[in-house]
Amino acid sequence: SLAYGIFYQTPESKFLSTDFKQNFQKATHYIFQVQRSEENRTLRLEAFYKDYKNLVKTQTVGFQNFVLPTYGDGFAKGVEVLWRDKKSIKNVDYWVSYSYLDSKREFLNYPTELYPNFAAKHNISVVAKKFVTSWKTGFNFSYTYTSGRPFYNIVAQNGSNVLLGEGKVKDFNSLNFSLNYLPNLGRKDAKAFTILVAGVNNILGNKNVFGYRFSSDGSLSAPVLPAAQTFAYVGLLISFGIDKTQEAIDNNL
């Protein structure tokens, strides 16, 4: 398949004012995809190129953010690969995905084209699911790897944005586990559908860092951390009216 599109987006509301004169931000997408599915196995390959125009450029002075009258631009290009297999291992559904991204943008307070601080060049995801029918329980494992994202120490000096320093955070790693159980609660004729879910994210307790924030003069910095490096959760979902237990079991087989 081939896809092409032109998209326009209004800048974030925090950049809008009565004297705002900038045009809509513009993105042009080119996407090529090949997919083959056979006997519960799927292989998908995708390549893309995205061109960005009219991006908002800003300058931060003290605690105030000013929108500059000039425009920024940039691009993103890369490939994605997905392999999904529900046949090779009995009652196990697993998939592996990998993506590579090359991107540069001159926007916000970037003084020149830089790799965006929210993007990573390499991303890997591995997911495995097994549903035990006799127990009415599904077991799910997932692993996520992301190469280190860049960070920049940018300050406003003499009317322009200056890059004082840059670096990369360490690679992101997270191993997660969850299960979902379909208990029988209440009378059978009540037609209630119940799911008990529980899980633990980042089982190994990796100390992940998303980036760094810098003071307005660039002299101080603080890491951007997740709310919790490792956390567990338990939930009970109950739906009345239609018993979808068998449908949920069938969807996991």
- Which pLDDT score is estimated for 245? 57
pTM: predicted TM-score of the whole model, two decimal places = 0.83
Per-residue pLDDT of the chain (253 residues; tens, 9 = 90+): 999 999 999 888 777 766 666 788 999 999 999 999 999 999 999 999 999 999 999 887 766 778 888 899 999 999 999 999 999 988 899 999 999 999 999 999 999 999 999 999 999 999 999 988 888 889 999 999 999 999 999 998 888 899 999 999 999 999 999 998 887 655 555 566 788 899 999 999 999 999 999 988 888 999 999 989 999 999 988 877 665 555 655 555 5
Q: Which long-range contacts (CB under 8 A, 24 or more apart) does 86-95 make?
A: 86/40, 86/41, 87/39, 87/40, 87/41, 88/41, 91/130, 91/131, 91/132, 91/253, 92/128, 92/129, 92/130, 93/128, 93/129, 93/130, 93/252, 94/126, 94/127, 94/128, 94/129, 95/42, 95/126, 95/127
- For position 68, what pLDDT does the model report? 83
